[in-house]
């Protein structure tokens, strides 16, 4: 193989178009565009004008069998990611799937199991936020035990404001059968991934979800979920698409410190001098009096650090593409292994299922029950085939 990976871009929409530009602009030095595929005839003209030397196909199987690509990226509706991933790997071509990995765990599990049977191939997912230097640093802090054992986490991420015109722009958008859900499967998958990547996978979830709450859509536009990690540790996730002001605040409370992230840009990390329980047990009534009167010297209890990184738009996506190519070329470890994609899908499924049943749901839920409930909603829409 040459020193550059020939990438097949399946879907030349907003995302596929951005990846093509990153590559041609030189942001991914170990990759070149091998071929482009799109079912929309208008995209053929667009590709011919922008990338005249790149082969174009109107179905992805033809692209896979053309011999023009070493790897592909799937920039297509969510339901298609697992199917395309499997067909790609079947032909011994490396696969990078967009987020989310799929809509329901049953199909993502099939993709993961097939990928595991092809360990010689690179299988990644476009979790570009894992390439965000801020979140990489915070994961390192948590993994190193610098804030102790996590006791609680909460993420309010409501800066996805979308007007009604956005939902009216396409027949498949904000539908159960076309998109597979609303804010959980479209806007929030990166946060569902980062939350579990940094804080761990919860045991169960209880949710309150509103469907078509402030928009004329069938799917969710308001979510509040409470998760249980076991051993008393909990987490809360709040997201919505109707908050015009929007909030992005992520907190992680440990028994020896705390992290607060504002707008995914600045993190304040507090490290206690010793575990919080030890501080509590060592305080007498005189200390309590000083505490209430604001006379305690906080510097004797903890230190505070502010972390901030410059982040160039597109750099994180381009970095995942470059890392994926490096994994193919020389075995560089993947930032986001494709098999990790099931975690966010599983949590989104559990949040939906909890709201549909009104019960707390284990993350080890009945996948057939979820699919049955999803298909009920697809059938009610009457626009798309049910899933299996």
Q: Print pLDDT tens along the chain (388 aa).
A: 458 999 999 999 999 999 999 999 999 999 999 999 999 999 999 999 999 999 999 999 999 999 999 999 999 999 999 999 999 999 999 999 999 999 999 999 999 999 999 999 999 999 999 999 999 999 999 999 999 999 999 999 999 999 999 999 888 899 999 999 999 999 999 999 999 999 999 999 999 999 999 999 999 999 999 999 999 999 999 999 999 999 999 999 999 999 999 999 999 999 999 999 999 999 999 988 988 898 988 889 999 999 998 876 668 999 999 999 999 999 999 999 999 999 999 999 999 999 999 999 999 999 999 999 999 999 999 999 999 9
* 69 in the same domain as 167: no
Q: Describe the chain by its helix, strand, coil percentages, rounded to 5.
A: 40, 25, 40
pLDDT of res. 315: 82
Asked whether residue 95 is assigned to any structural domain, the reply reads: yes
Could you count the other beta carbons within 10 Å of the beta carbon of residue 114?
17
Identify the bridge partners of residue 7 per DSSP, sorted by sequence position. 33, 71
Distance CA 281, CA 277 (A): 6
Quick one: pLDDT at residue 312? 64
CB atoms within 10 A of CB 89: 21
Of 159, 172, 156, nearest to 219 (Cα)?
Answer: 172
The single-letter DSSP state of residue 100 is S
Alpha helices in 230-308 (DSSP H): 276-281, 285-292
The closest alpha carbon to 312, from 71, 25, 101, 76, belongs to 25
| Structural domain of 368 | 131-308+344-381
Residue of 316, 267, 312 whose CA lies nearest to 131: 316
Question: Quick one: 49 and 91 in the same domain?
Answer: yes
The CA distance from 51 to 375, in Å, is: 40
pLDDT, residue 296, reads 87
Angle among Cα 50, 54, 60 to the nearest 5 degrees reads: 110
In a domain, 386, yes or no: no
pLDDT at residue 83, rounded to an integer? 96
Residue 388 lies in a domain: no
Q: Does 387 map to a domain?
A: no
Whether 90 and 181 map to the same domain: the answer is no
Domain holding 262: CATH number?
3.30.360.10
Closest CA to 364 of 347, 376, 352: 347
Output the pLDDT for position 382: 94
Q: Are residues 263 and 215 in the same domain?
A: yes
Q: Residue 327 CA to chain centroid, in angstroms?
A: 20
3-class SS of residue 52: coil
Query: Do residue 205 and residue 234 come from a single domain?
Result: yes
Amino acid 313: pLDDT: 62
The confidence score (pLDDT) of residue 60 equals 98
At 61 the pLDDT is 98
Q: Is 51 a domain residue? A: yes
CB atoms within 10 A of CB 277: 11
- Virtual torsion, Cα 166, 172, 178, 181, nearest 10 deg: 20
**DSSP letter, residue 15:** H
DSSP E strand stretches across the chain: 5-10, 31-37, 56-57, 71-74, 94-97, 123-125, 150-157, 204-211, 220-230, 233-240, 248-254, 257-262, 266-272, 302-308, 361-362
Tally the domains of the chain.
2
Answer yes or no: do 179 and 298 share one domain. yes
pLDDT tens track for 101-117: 999 999 999 999 999 99
Q: Which of 41, 92, 7, 48 is nearest to 317 (CA)?
A: 7
pLDDT value, residue 310: 80
* pLDDT value at residue 2: 57
Q: Residue 36 belongs to a domain with what CATH number?
A: 3.40.50.720
Query: Looking at the domain assignment, is residue 182 inside a domain?
Result: yes
Considering the domain architecture, whether residues 141 and 181 belong to the same structural domain is answered as yes
SS3 135: helix
Residue 324 and residue 258 share a domain = no
Per-residue pLDDT at 260: 98
DSSP string for residues in 146-170: TT-SEEEEEEEE------HHHHTT-
Same domain? For 172 and 35 the reply is: no
* 268 in the same domain as 243: yes
Task: Say if 150 falls within a structural domain.
Answer: yes
One domain for residues 274 and 355: yes
* Contact present, 131 and 335 (Cβ < 8 Å): yes
Shared domain for 108 and 32, answered yes or no, is yes
What is the C-alpha to C-alpha distance for residues 108 and 341, in angstroms, rounded to an integer? 8
**CA separation for the pair 109, 96 (Å, rounded):** 16
Please state whether beta strands 361-362 and 204-211 pair in parallel, antiparallel, or not at all (unpaired).
antiparallel
């Amino acid at each position: 193989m040459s020193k550059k990976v020939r990438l097949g871009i399946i879907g030349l929409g907003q995302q596929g178009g951005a990846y093509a530009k990153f590559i041609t602009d030189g942001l991914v030095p170990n990759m070149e565009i091998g071929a482009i595929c799109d079912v929309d005839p208008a995209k053929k003209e667009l590709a011919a004008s922008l990338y005249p030397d790149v082969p174009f196909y109107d179905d992805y199987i033809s692209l896979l069998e053309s011999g023009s690509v070493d790897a592909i990226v799937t920039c297509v509706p969510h339901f298609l990611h697992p199917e395309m991933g499997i067909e790609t790997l079947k032909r011994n071509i490396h696969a990078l799937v967009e987020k989310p990995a799929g809509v329901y765990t049953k199909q993502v599990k099939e993709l993961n199991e097939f990928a595991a049977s092809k360990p010689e191939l690179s299988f990644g997912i476009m979790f570009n936020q894992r390439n965000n230097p801020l979140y990489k640093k915070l994961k390192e802090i948590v993994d190193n035990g610098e804030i102790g054992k996590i006791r609680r986490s909460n993420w309010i991420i409501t800066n996805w404001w979308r007007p009604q015109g956005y939902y009216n722009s396409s027949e498949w958008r904000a539908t159960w059968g076309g998109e597979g859900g609303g804010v959980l499967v479209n806007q929030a998958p990166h946060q569902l991934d980062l939350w579990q990547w940094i804080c761990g996978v919860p045991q169960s979830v209880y949710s309150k979800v509103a469907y078509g709450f402030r928009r004329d859509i069938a799917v969710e536009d308001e979510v509040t979920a409470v998760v249980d990690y076991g051993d008393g540790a909990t987490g809360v996730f709040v997201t919505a698409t109707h908050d015009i002001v929007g909030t992005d605040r992520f907190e992680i409370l440990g028994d020896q410190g705390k992290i607060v992230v504002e707008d995914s840009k600045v993190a304040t990390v507090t490290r206690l001098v010793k575990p919080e329980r030890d501080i509590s047990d060592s305080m007498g009534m005189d200390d309590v009096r000083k505490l209430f009167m604001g006379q305690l010297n906080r510097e004797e209890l903890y230190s505070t650090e502010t972390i901030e990184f410059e982040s160039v738009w597109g750099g994180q996506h381009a970095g995942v593409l470059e890392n994926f190519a490096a994994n193919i070329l020389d075995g560089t470890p993947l930032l986001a292994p494709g098999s990790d994609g099931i975690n966010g899908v599983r949590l989104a499924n559990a949040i939906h299922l909890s709201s549909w049943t009104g019960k707390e749901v284990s993350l080890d839920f009945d996948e057939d029950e979820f699919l049955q409930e999803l298909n009920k909603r697809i059938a009610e829409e009457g626009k798309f085939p049910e899933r299996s």
